[in-house]
Amino acid sequence: MTDSQDAYRRAGVDIDAQDAALGRIKKLVRSTKTPGVLGGVGSFGGLFRPDLAGLKEPVLVSSADGVGTKLMVAKMAGDYSTVGRDLVNHCVNDILVQGATPLFFLDYVGTGTLEPDAFAALVKGLADGCRENGCALLGGETAEMPGFYQPGDYELVGFIVGMVDRAALLDGSRVRPGDLLLALSSSGLHTNGYSLARHVFFERLELCVNDKVPGVDDDRRTLGKILLEPHRSYLSALRPLLGHPALHALAHITGGGLTDNLPRVLPAKTQAEIRVGSWRIPDLFHVLQKHGEVATEEMFRVFNMGVGMVLVVDPAGVGEILEILQQQKQSASPIGTIQTGDGGVVYDLGMVSSGEGSASSDEGSASSGEHSVNGR
């Protein structure tokens, strides 16, 4: 009788190699175990018993996301060690903005041909991110699909479930005109805008991942290291603020930038007014705008522009909020206010350079004026 596993291997799927690779990651998965996890690794479904103590009306909050074409940079650099952490942190932030803390995480890894070292690096990043955020890597799916994915290609998707007491849920309903906007800095592009960034750096500027980036004041890191800088998690910094009466809303600045993400927490008949130049926009974004010939409006809709999270805060409690953030070794920049309006985001471009079209954080170098973008 013909060995069916040999036939499957000739078709491009090696079951034995998959089993060996999965065996390598069991220890990584176990390292993320939290008190709520029931059972071990390898069941058909993950089991989790949440601790409901102290919660009057517990609400589950879930989200799903992917790493996008940042994976192509990882492939070019031959470094898959960071993208798993990217994914976990992104998903953690997505439920954090509703006041939820994570319980468990699930992943999907798709590839054309499973390469054990790359796969182990991906899962190690997932496990590291889960441990750092206090959530369990409860399960996942690995799919080897030759012909659908090309050799060396990986798809990475994550699913997270967290919980919040309904009374502490952040849904934007408490946002009022006069509220202040506080920005927490990003660590770079995070996980958005990579299709445009790759076009600018690898096609227009013809750089390689091991090159330094002209115009970026960073002698320690290559382009690959800069682009693979992990997406920040804001959980540790913001956890002490969850439930604080002065915290009216949170906005995770991902795809769509400030322009599309801030309106997601705005009530009707309000708008966000942002003073461009009130925070430092990192050199990386100036280089992208200049060499990509990108309009300022588009920059603020494609990239986070150095802002990874925005807090909407009652001005009466802003001092206490800033003090708590400082205790967490987290700085925040006041970047604007909530005002009565027609929705969306209005940018005060008084500090935007008109010379080369680059968004500048240098005061006094530009024309004045406002620009309204409806992000709904």
Q: Where are the alpha helices (DSSP H) in the chain?
A: 4-10, 15-30, 70-77, 83-96, 116-133, 194-198, 223-227, 235-238, 257-261, 283-292, 296-302, 318-327
Q: Was domain 7-41+56-168 assigned CATH 3.30.1330.10? A: yes
Structure tokens at 321: 């909020």
What local confidence, expressed as pLDDT, does residue 155 receive? 95
User: Rounded CA gap, 79 and 143, in Å?
Assistant: 20
168: enclosing H helix or E strand: none
| β-pairing verdict for 136-144 and 101-111 | parallel
pLDDT at 42 over 90: no
- Amino acid, single-letter form, for residue 228: L
**pLDDT tens-place string over residues 294-341:** 999 999 999 999 999 999 999 999 999 999 999 999 999 999 999 999
Tokens encoding 339: 């005002």
Higher-confidence residue: 341 or 2? 341
- The pLDDT tens digits for 366-376 are 233 455 544 43
DSSP character at residue 149? B
Cβ contact 99:166 at 8 Å: no
**Orientation of helix 116-133 relative to helix 83-96, angle to 10°:** 30
Give start and end residues of each alpha helix (H) in 217-351: 223-227, 235-238, 257-261, 283-292, 296-302, 318-327
- Largest CA-CA distance found in the chain, in angstroms, rounded: 81
* 138 or 21, greater pLDDT: 138
129 phi and psi angles, rounded to 5 deg: -65, -40
Are 175 and 270 in contact, with CB atoms under 8 Å apart?
yes
185-233, pLDDT tens digit by residue?
999 999 999 999 999 999 999 999 999 999 998 878 999 999 999 999 9
Q: Does domain 180-373 have CATH number 3.10.350.10?
A: no
- What is the C-alpha separation between 138 and 44, in angstroms, rounded? 11
Q: Where in the chain is the domain with CATH 3.30.1330.10?
A: 7-41+56-168
Structure tokens, 317: 């409690």
Residue range(s) occupied by CATH 3.90.650.10 in the chain? 180-373
**Identity of the residue numbered 324:** I
